[in-house]
Amino acid sequence: MNMEFQSKKLAGIFRLIYIFLFLFLLLMPVLMLLEKNGFYPFLVMESIFLIIIFILIVSILKLKIRIEGNFLLIKIIFTMYKTDINKIYKVRKGETMWSGFNKFGTTTNGLIIFTKHLNDLYITPDNEVLFLNELQKINPNIIIENK
């Protein structure tokens, strides 16, 4: 069985933080240009910041949470995280993105997935109920607790 879940979209304060970060990264090199440091340092800094912005945007828009057979995979362009669903022993709902070891969530009120390997995962699937039901179909021993 293969299922794919989208991550929740940025909303509220996180959207504002990202917009502020992008504007800061785009406008910071302009100060170098205005201080008459030359065009070359401006071009180098602007290129570096544009690459950082591109990576952030791709990681937000292309984040996929997949269940493939007995495995839970997190993919952005390629697989970033993979764990066996049978090794998951607990899922905690309502957590923030400051929880967990591997962070692939885009908003707050996500899920922390605890595995036997102590590499906790923070994710924010769009449809939490369907996602948790699919996990429990594969591993009925998963304990789901609310924060």
pTM attached to this predicted model: 0.75
Q: What local confidence, expressed as pLDDT, does residue 81 receive?
A: 87
- Positive/negative CA dihedral, 71, 62, 105, 53: positive
Instruction: Identify the band that residue 28 occupies on the pLDDT scale cut at 50, 70 and 90.
Output: confident
Distance CA 34, CA 32 (A): 5
Residue ranges with strand state E in 7-146: 64-68, 71-75, 79-84, 88-95, 102-103, 110-115, 121-123, 143-146
CB 124 within 8 A of CB 72: no
- Positive/negative CA dihedral, 13, 99, 132, 85: positive
- pLDDT, tens digit, for every residue of 81-129? 889 999 999 999 877 766 556 677 777 788 888 888 777 888 889 888 9
